[in-house]
Amino acid sequence: MKPIINRILHAMVVPILKVTHMSDAIKTRRIIHALKKLPPHNPSAAFDFLRSCRFSFQEIGEKRCCLYTTEARWLAYVPLLEQATDQSWTLCLKNSPEANVWEATSFSPNLNVERIIRQAWELHASDIFIDVTPTQATVRFRIHRTLSDPQYQSHGQGQALLNSFLILGSLTFDETIRNQEGHFRYSLDGKTIFGRLSHMQDFYQKTLAIRILSENIFPFHIDSLQLPKKLLTLLRSKHTQWRSGMILISGPTGSGKTTTLYALGKLFHQQGKKIISIEDPIEAEIHDFVQSEINAKRGHTFEEALLGTFRQDPDVILIGEIRSPETAKAAFFASLSGNLIITTIHANDLQLVPFRCQELGIHFGEFSNGVHLQIHQQWDEKGSSMAPTFSWQLTADLDKRKKVPSPIQQPNV
């Protein structure tokens, strides 16, 4: 008789527990989603939210608060509270659910994210690098292509800082195999700073590269790029005539290619052109044109994004970067199909760009037919200038262009 009663009780209790767990999971997910949507630098709104969710917390000093909970998972979301309240938060856990003793589990660094971003802003740094090993962590900045001296931190401080940036970029910090990429927007002294994240880790080390893109470093305007006068005059005189083809921006990593890309997009927008960009990922939010972000996880591939862009009938298509043969062929096909393409490619010298494209499957005939203008930019070797140096080459005048048979194949879009 007893086994039968146990089976009946088990059949009744298990579904109830499943429903309870599911309800708790839904509630937790809603809380996390709401945490991510908290307005920055608004403590009263954050405190009201915590009270509505029945969190126990208290202010324990100037610029310091304590969050009491029985679940360690909330430690991951402490940086969101710091951004919302401009205060340092400490997570306190009970030794056991029955005990009435609280222990501080982790002190999140006091607005360390803001300190690092502010330092990058003041140094006019293009990149921030955070490396975390089992023994220590280092923070370095790239300034005019030169790495600064490392700033050493303890492993715990470096891990908390790295996690804070990952949360800002809506990335996870339990990924051990696949690299992650994301971006974030941060408000600093009333100005918006955009950051692109690249996270990689193995069993020994975790590294995070943060590309800083803000108008403090390179303004997104053609007149602020310090272009040579001849190049600036050429762009202003020719950009109304170029209705198809390609403008190709080249340069090494960190030279400001994306900034020039956005500035050219704004130049065409001022002429009443419809601009759509395809980026992986979006590096800065520009309200002058439509931005489409590649998301392979959700099936939004480059080919699908390009096909959707064609259907929107744009005048100019911005492609964040040519990285692969598939991207190169699709970009050059679009440039020969009645769309003006502006894109970037990594190259160390202006004369090497055609050969770089050839490595990606673009023949010289396709290159000469498709590219109107090459712009190459890089920092000078001395690193004393606050802007990169530019060189350029006009492939051919529009009325004197030699028609070369192009074997390019239509991509699968």
Q: What angle do CA 120, 161, 214 make, to 5 degrees?
A: 30
**51 plus 129 within the same structural domain:** no
**356 plus 261 within the same structural domain:** yes
Bridge pairing between strands 146-147 and 127-132 = unpaired
C-alpha span between 328 and 333 (Å, rounded): 8
Secondary structure percentages of the chain, helix, strand, coil, to 5: 40, 30, 35
**276 plus 387 within the same structural domain:** yes
pLDDT of residue 401: 41
pLDDT of residue 386: 56
In a domain, 26, yes or no: no
In a domain, 9, yes or no: no
pLDDT of residue 128: 94
Find how far residue 214's CA is from the centre of its chain.
12
Neighbours of 227 (CB within 10 A): 20
Structure tokens at 203: 């069993």
User: Is the pTM here over 0.75, yes or no?
Assistant: no
In a domain, 407, yes or no: no
Burial pattern 292-302, b for ≥16 Cβ within 10 A else e, equals bebeeeeeeeb
- Please tell me the total number of residues recorded for the chain in this structure: 413
C-alpha span between 245 and 249 (Å, rounded): 13
**329 plus 342 within the same structural domain:** yes
pLDDT of residue 163: 78
Q: Which of 188, 213, 238 is the last residue of a domain?
A: 213
How many structural domains are present in the chain?
3
Q: Which of 194, 213, 232 is the last residue of a domain?
A: 213
Kindly give, in sequence order, each residue whose CB lies less than 8 Å from that of residue 176, ignoring residues fewer than 6 positions away.
201, 202, 203
Instruction: Please give the C-alpha separations between residue 161 and each of 20, 79, 102, 115, 139, in angstroms, as whole numbers.
Output: 35, 9, 24, 11, 10
User: Residues of the chain whose pLDDT is less than 70?
Assistant: 1-27, 61-62, 72-73, 75-76, 93-111, 173-177, 214-219, 239, 380-387, 396-413
pLDDT of residue 6: 61
pLDDT of residue 107: 44
C-alpha span between 331 and 73 (Å, rounded): 44
Kindly give, in sequence order, each residue whose CB lies less than 8 Å from that of residue 235, ignoring residues fewer than 6 positions away.
222, 227, 264, 267
Residue 281: burial class (beta carbons within 10 Å; 0-12, 13-18, 19+)? middle
In a domain, 32, yes or no: no
**343 plus 246 within the same structural domain:** yes
Q: Which letter does DSSP use for residue 131 in this model? A: E
In a domain, 194, yes or no: yes
- Domain assignment of residue 94, given as a range: 37-108
pLDDT of residue 130: 94
pLDDT of residue 178: 73
User: CB of 339 within 8 A of CB of 317?
Assistant: yes
In a domain, 267, yes or no: yes
pLDDT of residue 88: 75
**157 plus 248 within the same structural domain:** no
